[in-house]
Amino acid sequence: MAELLRTDRLLVRNWSVADAEAALKIYSEGNVIRWLHEFDCIPNAAAMQTVLQGWTTEQTEMTPGTGRWALVLLQGGTLIGGISLLPMPVPEADVEIGYQLAPEYWGRGYITEAARALAHWAFQHSLVELFALVARDNARAAATARRIGMEWVGESDKYHRKRLEVFRLRPDDLARARQK
Ligand SMILES: CC(C)(COP(=O)(O)OP(=O)(O)OC[C@H]1O[C@@H](n2cnc3c(N)ncnc32)[C@H](O)[C@@H]1OP(=O)(O)O)[C@@H](O)C(=O)NCCC(=O)NCCS
Q: What pLDDT score was predicted for residue 111?
A: 98
Please give the Cα distance from 138 to 160 (Å, whole number).
Answer: 16
- The domain limits of the chain are 3-179
Mean pLDDT of the chain: 95
| Helical spans, DSSP H, in 7-138 | 20-27, 30-33, 45-61, 110-124
* pLDDT band per the 50, 70, 90 thresholds, residue 8: very high
CA of 116 to the centre of ligand 1 (A): 12
Q: What pLDDT score was predicted for residue 1?
A: 75
Specify the CATH superfamily of domain 3-179: Gcn5-related N-acetyltransferase (GNAT) (3.40.630.30)
Pocket test for ligand 1, best of 42, 80, 99 (most atoms within 8 A of CB): 99
Please give the Cα distance from 88 to 149 (Å, whole number).
Answer: 20
CA of 140 to the centre of ligand 1 (A): 6
Tens digits of per-residue pLDDT, 46-83? 999 999 999 999 999 998 889 999 999 999 999 999 99
